[in-house]
Amino acid sequence: MNAHLNECSRLEEAATYTAETHHILANRQQLWYKILQLVPAVASAVVVTLVVGKVVPSWVGIPALIAAIVTAIGTVMNPQQSYFEHLSAAKAFTVIKNDARAICELAAAVPAAETAADTKSLHERYNDLVRVTPPTEDWAFDKARKRIHSGVHKPDEKK
C-alpha cells in the first residue's frame, strides 16, 4: 500500500508543477494577445477614425497601417488559442493533483486493492494528459518551481 501512496504523492507533486507551469504559460500568451492583437487593433481604429474625420493629417495613418500589420501577425500567431490550450492543461493537471491528494488522504478508509486500482487509473490519466497537452518551456518550469517553493500552493494554517 505504501508504494501506491508514494506514487500518488509523486503524481500530486508532478501535477502541481505541471499545472503551475501551464498557468504561467497561459498568462504569457494572454499578454502576447494583448500586445499583438488587442492594443494594435484599438490603436488602428482610433488613428483611422482621426484620419477619416480629418482631425489629423493623412500621414498619421502610417501608424495605423503598422498597427494593422502587427494585428495580422498576431492573428496568425494566435496567442489566444495557445492561452486556452495552456489554461485547459493547467486545469486538467490541477484536477489530477486534487485526485491524487484525495486518494492519499482516503487510503486508510478504503481497501488496499481499491487504492491500488485508483492509483493505477490516476497514473494512466496523468500519462494520457501529458500526451495531449502543449509542450512547456524551461523558463516557465523554473518560474513555477520558485512559486511553488515560496509556498503559494500550501493551504492556510487553521488557528
Give per-residue pLDDT as tens, 83-109: 999 999 999 999 999 999 999 999 889
Give the pLDDT score at 128: 96
Exposure of 8 by Cβ count < 10 A (0-12 exposed, 13-18 middle, 19+ buried)? buried
The reply to whether 64 falls in a domain is yes
pLDDT bucket at 62, cuts 50 / 70 / 90: confident
Strands (E), the chain: none
The reply to whether 156 falls in a domain is no
In tens, the pLDDT along 3-57 reads 888 999 999 999 999 999 999 999 998 888 887 777 888 888 888 888 888 888 8
**Alpha carbons 24 and 27: distance in angstroms, whole number:** 5
How many structural domains is the chain composed of? 1
Pick from 53, 133, 147: which is nearest to 87 by CA?
A: 133
Classify residue 20 by its DSSP letter: H
Number of other residues whose CB lies within 10 A of the CB of residue 156: 5
The reply to whether 154 falls in a domain is no
The reply to whether 152 falls in a domain is no
> Does the pTM of the predicted model rise above 0.85?
no
The reply to whether 140 falls in a domain is yes
Give the pLDDT score at 156: 58
In tens, the pLDDT along 113-150 reads 999 999 999 999 999 999 999 999 999 999 999 999 99
Pick from 83, 66, 76: which is nearest to 31 by CA?
A: 83
Cell of 63: 501608424
Domain hosting residue 80, numbered range: 2-147
The reply to whether 157 falls in a domain is no
